[in-house]
């Protein structure tokens, strides 16, 4: 089983409860706490993902513009995979000795 994040009891405390303790255990409070805290974690992860996705897209656009100015043609609206491949190809060309 999984305890809610920051739950007041440890896993060891819960697993060592006897039947009387377990029968008095407030499952409703447990489940409510679990839902609330897991919802907060999921919402934070979604916000983090959106932040990093936006940052990656901005960096992709800036690098594309810089490379286009230097004569390396990369479509501004290419996918991240195509962008990565273009960067790898360009890096390989630059690293080759003349």
Tens of pLDDT, residues 66-98: 888 888 888 888 888 998 998 888 888 877 765
pTM: 0.59
- Per DSSP, the three-state class of 85 is helix
Tens digit of each residue's pLDDT (9 = 90 or more) over 40-70:
999 999 999 999 999 999 999 999 898 888 8
Domain range summary for the chain, segments of one domain joined by +: 27-95
The backbone torsions φ and ψ at residue 12, rounded to the nearest 5 degrees and listed phi first, read -60, -40
């Amino acid at each position: 089983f999984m305890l809610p994040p920051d739950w007041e009891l440890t896993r060891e405390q819960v697993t060592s409860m006897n039947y009387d303790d377990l029968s008095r255990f407030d499952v409703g409070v447990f489940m409510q706490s679990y839902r609330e805290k897991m919802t907060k974690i999921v919402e934070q992860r979604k916000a983090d993902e959106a932040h990093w996705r936006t940052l990656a897209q901005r960096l992709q656009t800036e690098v594309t513009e810089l490379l286009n100015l230097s004569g390396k043609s990369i479509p501004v609206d290419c996918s991240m995979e195509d962008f990565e491949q273009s960067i790898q190809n360009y890096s390989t060309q630059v690293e080759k000795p003349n």
